[in-house]
């Protein structure tokens, strides 16, 4: 296992960490699908268990042994671990490594949407196979924090897959991964097209599309959960604007969460947890 003390911040082997933005990492040269950063030992371990391939690890001296052990256990003893004091590593990255380490990971190829709906692409999480019954569609949610929180709820409560629309924030962004506690690396997900493509795909695979929105014909979530269809695609919309007209038009049922005290909606991440809990029971 190559453990390399950080001596020179200009070392080209450290370029993945040198104030790199999420967009720059996604377009990193010399990679097939780009890179993402996994913060903390827990997130690294989840990434490795999902079969993601590490490129290197940057660790505080106190986290060196944990990083070495995690890589060795996952079958990647050749991956370099760069170590150094916190102040020096913060100068390199632009932030303190509060969680001990950060790893540069190769982005995996995203699975085909149809494969996720049939269960063929859910080998790293969910129930897989014919058990693919609950999925989440995130439409145009632009805040990585909300995307990460939705994924954490999906992983904890039991969604089998997540579909992400073209204008939704990237689940592999550092903040989304951090907020999700690495569950974006566990819950199978992929990008999908616009609703004129997505709606027929969901219907073809037997999913009842339930859109969370405030419309005059929306049914209460309490009513919907009494007769939850066998397969449900739960659709969550953007912060503030909510779901697009196209999403609402494509829905088999529009659902709203009952509220008190004149409050008409929750943050999209909170709404996702409530709705997923209801349809998963």
Coil, helix or strand at residue 218: coil
Per-residue model confidence (pLDDT) at position 126:
39
Per-residue model confidence (pLDDT) at position 212:
95
Per-residue model confidence (pLDDT) at position 141:
96
pLDDT digits (tens, 9 = 90+) for 179-205: 999 999 999 999 999 999 999 999 999
Per-residue model confidence (pLDDT) at position 125:
39
Rounded Cα–Cα distance for residues 231 and 227 (Å): 11
Rounded Cα–Cα distance for residues 210 and 250 (Å): 9
**Which of 41-45, 51-55, 86-90, 149-153 bottoms out in mean pLDDT, i.e. has the lowest?**
86-90
pLDDT digits (tens, 9 = 90+) for 247-268: 999 999 999 988 777 776 778 9
**Which are the contacts of 4, defined by CB distance < 8 A and separation ≥ 6?**
13, 80, 81, 82, 83
Q: Which helix (H) or strand (E) holds 136?
A: strand 134-138
Rounded Cα–Cα distance for residues 275 and 255 (Å): 9
Q: Which tokens belong to 124?
A: 């790293």
Give, in order, the Cα–Cα distances in Å from 21 to each of 38, 93, 182, 236, 249: 13, 10, 19, 27, 37
- pTM for the whole structure: 0.90
The CB density around residue 71, as the number of other CB atoms within 10 Å, is 23
Rounded Cα–Cα distance for residues 16 and 19 (Å): 8
Q: Is the pLDDT of residue 163 over 50?
A: yes
pLDDT digits (tens, 9 = 90+) for 93-148: 988 887 899 999 999 999 999 999 998 765 433 333 456 899 999 999 999 999 99
Coil, helix or strand at residue 247: helix
Per-residue model confidence (pLDDT) at position 98:
78
């Amino acid at each position: 296992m190559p453990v390399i003390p950080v001596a020179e911040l200009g070392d080209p082997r450290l370029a993945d960490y040198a104030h790199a933005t999420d967009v720059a990492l996604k377009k990193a040269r010399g990679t097939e699908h780009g890179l993402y950063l996994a913060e903390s030992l827990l997130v690294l371990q989840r990434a490795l268990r999902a079969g993601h391939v590490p490129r290197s690890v940057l660790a505080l001296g106190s986290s060196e042994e944990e990083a070495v052990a995690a890589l060795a256990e996952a079958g990647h003893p050749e991956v370099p671990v760069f170590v150094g004091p916190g102040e020096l590593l913060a100068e390199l990255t632009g932030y303190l490594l509060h969680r001990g380490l950060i790893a540069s990971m190769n982005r995996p190829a995203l699975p085909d949407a149809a494969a996720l709906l049939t269960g063929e692409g859910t080998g790293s999480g969910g129930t897989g196979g014919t058990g693919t019954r609950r999925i989440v569609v995130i439409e145009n949610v632009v805040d990585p924090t909300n995307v990460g929180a939705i994924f954490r709820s999906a992983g904890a409560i039991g969604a089998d897959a997540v579909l992400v629309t073209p204008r939704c924030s990237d689940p592999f962004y550092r903040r989304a991964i951090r907020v999700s506690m690495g569950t974006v690396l566990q819950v199978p997900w992929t990008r999908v097209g616009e609703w004129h493509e997505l709606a027929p795909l969901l219907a073809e695979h037997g999913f009842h599309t339930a859109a969370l929105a405030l419309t005059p014909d929306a049914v209460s979530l309490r009513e919907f959960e009494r007769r939850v269809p066998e397969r449900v695609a739960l659709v969550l919309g953007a912060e503030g604007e909510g779901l697009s007209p196209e999403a609402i038009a494509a829905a088999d049922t529009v659902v709203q969460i009952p509220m008190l005290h004149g409050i008409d909606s929750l943050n999209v991440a909170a709404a996702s947890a409530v709705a997923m809990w209801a349809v998963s029971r």
